[in-house]
Amino acid sequence: MSIRTRQNSKGQSCNIMEFIQHLARSLKSARTVQLPTDANSAFFVLMPMVIANQHRSVADLLANTDYSPDYGAGRAKRNLIHIAANCGSYECLCLLLKKGGDVNKQDMSGCTPLHLAARNGQKKCLNKLLEYKSDVNIKSNEGLTIIHWLAVNGRTEMLHDLLQYVHNVDVEDAQGQTALHVASQNGHKSTVTCLIDNGANVDLCNYQKSSPLHFACSHGQRDTAMILLSRGAKFVPDGSNATPLELSVQGGYSETCEMLLEQIPTLFESLITMVQKDDLAETEFYKVLSYLRKKNQTMCADILIGLGQQAVYIGHKLLSVSSNVPYQVKSLLRCAKFMCNLYKESQLTQPTGTNGTCAVSGNTKASIKAGAIFKHLELLWTSLEEWLLILHDEINQSKDKEALFAPRPIKVPDEESIPRVDDKQTQSAENKKASICSTDDEGIIPLSERFDKLKQAGKQQDIIEVVCPRICAVIQAFYMCCACQTDKLQMTSPRFIEFVCRHDTVLKFLVARNPTVIFDHFHFLLDCPELMSRFMHIIKSQPFDARKDWFYENLHPDNTTSEVLHIPPYDSDILVIKREKLFDSSCYQLLKNNPEKLKKNLAVRFDNEDGMGQGVMREWFDVLSREILNPDYALFTQSADGSTFQPNSNSSVNPDHLNYFEFAGQAMGLALYHKQLLNVYFTRSFYKHILGVPVNYKDVASIDPEYAKNLQWILDHDISDLGLDLTFSVETDVFGVMQEVDLKPSGSTLPVTESNKQEYVQLVTELRMTRAIQPQIESFLNGFHKYIPQSLVQMFDEYELELMLSGLPEIDIEDWKANTEYSTAEEDRHVIQWFWNVVEKLSQQEKVLLLQFVTGSSRVPHGGFAKLAGGGGPQKFNISIVQYSPQVLPSAATCINLLKLPEYRSEAELDDRLQVALQCGSQGYGMA
């Protein structure tokens, strides 16, 4: 064997031995024992060991290598020294520093290892870095230094050790914020104290002119704010002109506000005057006032009196000529609302039996402090009375009433319904005019002079339009204050009713001239049946949409309901309905659940089906409304026109019929409350019963057209000599037994004559249309009114109520097309054109099935297809073209009104597949 061969063999043996030794070491240590030569790979081998502080393994791997601890990896570009300082791996940090790493190396965000150690409270690592001369003044990209990081997290102990290295404790970050700013904001009391003790400036502001006190108050840090005040912090506005108190109120930080008032009692007036701020956070402001009321009874009275004084001030500015009307109206009503709500809260905590006189309503069951609380408002109510007298006087004295009170371009009542001011209310108002003055900087300007100037200059300014919103807003505030002190047994304050009656003609004139003030300010009509009748003719004359908006505005006053379920309901809140027993299970669910709960959150799921949401809810209402009309339950009978229904006078064949009628009323009320349409149409007379409107003889035609014609005939002709021999009684078939029923007491002995025939027709109409089904109507209304108050629904007529309950009865294809969107298709694609061709050929029933298939409802809402709603609010009908495959059917996502239409090869195929889908899949849900 040659020498070269022997040397090669010896080298291979050595390599094998080294490999075996390397293998054994790796297996015994359960890790690699040789660092990769590539720096990036080496970093990721070492990083987990550094995080776990496995310093022996790190030392072993770094031995006899030229790996640089300064190498940064990843998006943050952090090196192993950063990692060790961040995780508190002290031994690894020492090892890396000895290897010569740069102690001030910055990562991508500009943070040094010292920053990371300070942020995470790694005290030993921080001291070691300082030992290696780490620079405490280096700033991150955001301008943060080490003391900022310590202050952010309240590392007071470490801050004490570090301050000996820091020359400027007020060093600012990129926004001009000091360590004291961030410590105050985060509520670190000891850190704030430490910084101040070491010379931090308590009044140093950032670039937005915000001091540490502003930071503490804007984040509700009561304790740090108190420390700052005790150390001499100035109470001044920030750069946006907001004081620390205003910042605390904006956040709803009640305890911080309480502390500020305790430290600076003169701030109370500033707190109360905040009610005038146009951008006031109302919920938070009220939260603060309510908290203060509960904490201190003396402050409770002061708050109420203060709000009353503010209401007087704002009200008088509103009644001045040169005020900012929208702003003042908003401020006045807000002030009155807060005062009344706080007063009612305080009354709940008052001991019973307290004597006192109510300054507004005259009741004696009020708090003894009521007089002091409300007495200031008497100045405003007196001014309101004087204004109305001035208007009355001006109306009577005006020579050109038509020009002065020319109606605006809005629907108003007929001329006969607009009241004329009589001379009875004419008083000597001249002496009142001078007292109603502007208190603006322009000087005192009596309203009478304003009127005179307008008339002398011949300006075409609408005086009523100028003064009406102002006066009506003050009237609304007056009602709120009266109502909050009215005995619960009384529906309306006697004083307020007397006020309206006293100024009846002027108020009606104002409302007739500018009817929108009813919706803006006369909400009291809904609470006062005594007053509603006086204005009902004006309310009903307003556009349907305006009344509908007012209906839902008052039905949902707290906006606690909507057409969308924002959060998944709890399982216990879901109405689980069995399809095979839809009527019974629905009845059980509605009657057992509290209506208040169903108003706030309504979720429906069919038993053993996955789907839940708006589409399922719509289908439930749709199918349930048809099931209620099922003849098997004998609740409703079909009318003579074949398409509408009314209560069955013989429904008592079903022993539970009255409970079922109450259930039907609840179902309809719940649907109307949640703006869901029903697949049911009733007779006009039944809608009238819901509205509380008397029926007339023409309504009889819906159940007996021939009899209605006979009633019409006797009204149109003289019956004196016809020998009809009619009395005020009729014979009625009750389950096969004829019974005589008197229309009035002793009616069988009272003959019908030419002079009393109209009374007879009305009474016999009421018998057929009302008395015969009175128990059924009352049970239905008991359920309906649990969701819909009579005071709200009465503003509509029977045709409008039908629109709100059932939508449009006909489907307009052109309207459908015009309000369809296309998700993944162009309107001119062949399959889209074929689809509309097919739809136009469908029968009315098939169109209804298609609408139900895609939207879950068989009805179009009032306003047409543009008003369709989906799971996220308004949602138009949508078509999306999907991939074609043989025999595939169209599908739908009802929550978003989406039709998924395969790209069929021909119109005939599309027609065939659509018909199959409609007949087999218009009901039922699964998860898409």
Active site residues: 895
HEC profile of 716-760:
HCCCCCCCCCCECEEEEEECCEEEEEECCCCHHHCECCCCCHHHH
**Tokens 């405003």, residue?**
380
- Round to whole Å and give the CA distance between 87 and 121: 10
N-to-C CA span, the chain: 80
The secondary structure of the chain in percent helix, strand, coil, rounded to multiples of 5, reads: 55, 5, 35
Q: What angle do CA 815, 819, 820 make, to 5 degrees?
A: 120
Q: State the number of CA atoms in the 13 A half-sphere of 360 facing the CB.
A: 29
Residues 772/689, Cβ–Cβ less than 8 Å: no
Structure tokens at 907: 């119109």
Q: Which of 743, 737, 802 is nearest to 772 (CA)?
A: 743
- State the virtual CA torsion across 548, 551, 552, 553 in degrees, nearest 10: 110
Residues 701/723, Cβ–Cβ less than 8 Å: no
- Round to whole Å and give the CA distance between 185 and 213: 8
Q: Which amino acid is at 294?
A: K
Backbone phi, psi, residue 266, to 5°: -70, -10
Residues 895/603, Cβ–Cβ less than 8 Å: no
- State the virtual CA torsion across 668, 669, 670, 673 in degrees, nearest 10: 120
Strand order in the sheet with 820-822: 820-822, 877-882, 898-902, 891-893
Task: Give the containing element (helix H, strand E) for 341.
Answer: helix 325-348
Structure tokens at 783: 């359920």
HEC profile of 65-132:
CCCCCCCCECCCCECHHHHHHHHCCHHHHHHHHHCCCCCCCCCCCCCCHHHHHHHCCCHHHHHHHHHC
Q: Which of 722, 728, 724, 731 is nearest to 745 (CA)?
A: 728
- State the virtual CA torsion across 252, 254, 255, 258 in degrees, nearest 10: 130
Distances (CA, A) of 282 to 250, 324, 331, 342: 9, 20, 11, 14
Q: Which of 254, 219, 217, 252 is nearest to 234 (CA)?
A: 217
Q: What angle do CA 522, 524, 530 make, to 5 degrees?
A: 115
Structure tokens at 695: 């029926």
Q: Which amino acid is at 199?
A: G
- Round to whole Å and give the CA distance between 5 and 22: 26
Q: Which amino acid is at 538?
A: I
- Round to whole Å and give the CA distance between 379 and 96: 81
What single string gives the DSSP state of each residue in 483-548? Answer: HTTS-TTSSS-HHHHHHHHHTHHHHHHHHHHSTHHHHHH-THHHH-HHHHHHHHHHHHTS-HHHHH
Backbone phi, psi, residue 889, to 5°: -100, 155
